[in-house]
Every structure is written in C-alpha cells, then in structure tokens.
A and B are shown apart, each in its own frame.
Chain A
Amino acid sequence: MITREPDYFEPPLNPFGQFGRKILLNCRGAGRALLLLGEAILLARYVFSRRNRHETLYQMFVTGIKSLGVITVVGMFTGMILALQTGLELRRFGQEVNIGTAVTVSLVREMGPFMTALIIAASVGSAIAAQLGTMVVSDEIAALEVMSINPVRMLVMPRLVALAVMMPILTVYTNVIGVVGGALVGWTQLGVSMRAYFDNAIQYVENKDLYVGLFKSFVFGIVINTVACHQGFAASEGAVGVGQATRRTVIISFLTILVLGYMITRFFYV
C-alpha cells in the first residue's frame, strides 16, 4: 500500500536518541525506495498496455523534449568552459590542439551524464515529487487504491521507463552539443581549426568511454525517478510537506548521483 499513516514518535530523550532515530528513519526510507523500485521494475511488463503506453510516451515527451532548451544551453557552455580552461593551460605548452581530446573525454566519461542528471533531477525529478506529493495530500492516491488501481503501475512505472530511456539519449545530445561548444571556443579563442579539433577528439575516445557514460546516465535516470517517487509518496502535512518532498528529492538525487558516479567510474576504470 502506498497510502501510509503519518509517523508519530515520542520526543527523544537526548541528542543521541534523536541522531539514532534519524539514521533508522533514513534506512527505512532507503529500504522503502528500493522496494518501490523493485515493484516498478516487476510492473514494467505492462509498459505497452493501452493506458501505460500513452502515459509513458507523455512522460518521455516531458523528460526529453521539454528539457531540450535548458540542456542545450548547459551542454554548450559546459563544453565551452572545458575548452577554454584546458585550452589556456595547454597553450602554455603549445599543445592547444589537444583540447579536442580533453573536452570530448571529459564530457563522454563524466561531465555529460553528470550535467544531464543534475538538470533532470532539478527539473523533472522535483516536478514528479511535487505532483505525487500533491496527489497524496489531496487523497488522490488513496482514491486510486480504493478503486484497486495500483499507483505504482499507473504513476511510477511509466516515469521509470521514460527516465531510463530518455536519460542516455539526452546525455548523447549533451555530449554532442558540448563538443560543438568546445570546437567553437577552440576555433574562435585558441586558433584550433575545426578539422584538427574533431580529428583529435575522435582519435582518443574509446568505445568504452561511451558505453560507461551511457550506463551512468541510465543508472542516474533510475535514481532520479526512484528518489522523486518515493519522496512524493512520503509527503504529508499539506503544501509544506510537498515543498519538503521536492527539496529532499533534489538534495538526495544530487548526492546519490555524485556518489554513484564515482563508484561506477572506479568500477570500470580502476
């Protein structure tokens, strides 16, 4: 059942009790989020059913097409900053032609998935938490449960599939835009021709870089959806509770993305 009774605890006797309770509640929250993810994965077999298909496509549109504007600007400037920072240093050694490699490898391995995930967590993740949180506090989720309609199947699973599919696609787009942004800076600020930049960029990027980067973005998509849906469903106490759920979604998503990004890099490259 998604609809839960509000938690109530007696005030703790001392700060240690308060700290211990916070840890236990966070562990319980993590466990519930993983159970929610597990249920959504099991229900993913219904993704092509009549009503879920439409909802999943709509969520793909919201995640993908509606985020393109901000992703274009962020991707472009990420590439431009990377090119400018590395290019200025490399020019001291007469190696500015290598900015193609520096920009492309940084983007494909790390910055592309990371920047895309941050944008999607802040825009789509927070929106999911706010929507589900509002549904909880206005009894809409309870109404679905009374009608024996599974909210996980109707709301969580389509968003999970949409984010897991769209995140790698958006990451490829961020990478391409970032590399183009780097090329523009190289050409206009550092005197590196487009041809030299792209030759250099392609020469040193391995397939593994691309696969690992896309795997990261796939994992980040799942993380964002799981955190947002769990926090939304855990919302209580009206508008204040929805605001808190949204804030926690962004914070927890950012932290999890950072930690998992490091762990995936370490697993594949060390």
Chain B
Amino acid sequence: MSLIRFEQVSKTLGGRPVLRGLNLTIEKGETFVLLGASGSGKSVTLKHMVRLLTPDQGRVWIGEDCVSEARGRELERIRRRFGYLFQNAALLQWMTVEENVALPLLEKTTMAEAEALAEARRRLAVLGLEDAAQKYPADLSGGMQKRVGLARAIVMNPEIILYDEPTSGLDPVTSRTIDRLIEDLRQRLGVTSVVVTHDLHSALAIATRIGVIHEGRIVEIAPPKEFVRSRHPIVQDFLEAQYITRRGAWEETKSS
C-alpha cells in the first residue's frame, strides 16, 4: 500500500482554486520531488499532508490513516510520523539554535535536557553548524537558518520528511550537502521524502520520481532519466529554463 495518497483533492484559497481534483500516490522509501511554477500549489499540497490545510473536496491518506479527517490525538499521532522543513525555516526566535533543535526531544520524549541538547549539537555538527549552537536564529544567515530547520525536522527520526524549498537561498556547495543528506536518509534509514523545489538540478540528483504540478493538477510523473526526455510542454519549459536539454546535456553534466 502506498504511504501518501491524494484522492481527488480540491482546494480554493482566497477565492482562487489552487488544487483541482489532484491525485497523487507516493510510495514508502521514495524521494518524490514536486516541481511547478510559483503559485501552482506545491506548498499547498505539502501542507495537506500534515493537515495544516484541509481539502474542500477529496481525501488525503497517510498509510491507512485519513489525515484530512483526523482530529485531536489521532492527528497528533499521524503528525508524529512527519518532519517538516518550512520554506523560511520557522525557527522560534527566542530560543537558541540548539534549543530549537532539541525542542521536539524535550517536548515529546522523556529525554533529559542535557541529553537532548547534546543530541541537538550532534545533529547540528552533521550539517556543519556546530559553532552556531549557542546563537539565536536572528544572528544566522537565511541558509544557516534553513539548515537548523532541517536539523530540527530530522531530530526525531521521522518516517516521512517534507521539504519546502530546501535549497532555495543556499550556495551551490551547501545545496549539494543538503541533497546528499536527503539521499543518505533514504538509503540508510528508508526515510520517505517529499521535496518541493524549483532547483531542477537538485531534483534530478535526489529524486526517485519527479512530479510536475500545473494549475492544481499533476501533469507529469516520471523517474529522473525519463523526466528529462518528457515531451510535455510544461516539462520542456522547465528543462529549458534551467539549461537542461532533452538531448542528454543532463547526463553529460552528471558524468563530467
């Protein structure tokens, strides 16, 4: 059975239809990358998975649980399966970086404070942020804040991680570090990832499948190698806009 399933999900926000009968299935252990133009409904799709938004029509399933109808403790149980990296990191500004990362451990486990902070520092070190542990989020650059957000998203070892633009605003070297981490989580721990991004190079590097959303519907889903050969005009526009052509330039770029 698929891990995440959207059944005919429609959503209107601010009087504008954002999702129009969206159907989507994501399997366990996949890294599914969702591409689309700004305002096409990528982040809205992600928010439906953790019930930050509720569909006007249709249902969203997480395994055997219908998250779009879950409430109270059931919703809390479903949400515990997720880690979520927000677009702007969404760190609590009055807490230090290590306190932010340790927060889920302190609130949701019986771990002692010193132990939780040590675990937070260990996670930060993996992302090259060991020197920032005692700083406040406002003292960090946008890219560093995003990496702290990532450390917080993975600290509880969730089954599914949702990434909203994980590499936007990051330098290419750090972006590839994040890509490697996502890939490592999938290979080592079997984590299922859903990544919303505009960075097609990153998508081609990490995805097991890439989906393109356009006007509230999925218009193409394919593994990376098939994706770059897609004849769909929206996909073509994406590839050309990021200087990746159907003739195999991407493979050449990868092999060099």
Interface residues of A (CB under 8 A from B): 1, 3, 5-6, 8, 10, 50-51, 134-135, 138-140, 142-149, 154
Contacts and interface: CB of A to CB of B under 8 A. Distances in A.
A143 B152 CA distance: 10
B106 A51 contact: yes
A146 B52 CA distance: 8
19 contacts: A1-B51, A5-B53, A8-B12, A8-B14, A10-B15, A138-B88, A140-B91, A142-B52, A142-B86, A142-B90, A143-B86, A145-B52, A145-B79, A146-B52, A146-B79, A147-B103, A147-B107, A149-B104, A149-B108
Nearest to B104: A147
The prevalent SS among residues of B at the interface is: loop
B120 interface: no
A51 B14 CA distance: 38
A190 B80 CA distance: 70
B88 A148 contact: no
Contacts of A5: 13, 53-54
A142 B44 CA distance: 13
A154 B95 CA distance: 13
Interface in B127-141: none
A149 B13 contact: no
Contact of A148 (B14, B47, B76): B76
Query: Which 4 pairs of residues, A with B, have the shortest CB-CB distance?
Result: A143-B90, A139-B90, A148-B76, A146-B84
A139 B79 contact: no
Interface in B2-56: 12-15, 47, 50-54
B88 A8 contact: no
B87 interface: yes
A134 B104 CA distance: 21
A50 B86 CA distance: 28
Contacts of A8: 12-15
Nearest to B84: A146
Contacts of A134: 93
A3 B90 CA distance: 14
B90 A148 contact: no
A214 B218 CA distance: 61
B82 interface: yes
A147 B90 contact: no
B52 A6 contact: no
A101 B108 CA distance: 56
B142 to A, nearest CB: 12
Contacts of B107: 51, 147, 149, 154
Contacts of B91: 140, 143
Task: Choose among A6, A142, A146, A149 the residue with the greatest number of B CB atoms under 10 Å from its CB.
Answer: A146
B92 interface: yes
Nearest to A146: B84
A146 B50 contact: yes
B52 A148 contact: no
Nearest to A137: B88
Contacts of A10: 15
B76 A6 contact: no
Contacts of B156: 147
A148 B108 contact: yes
B126 to A, nearest CB: 20
B80 A148 contact: yes
Contacts of A147: 79, 103-104, 107-108, 156
A149 B76 CA distance: 9
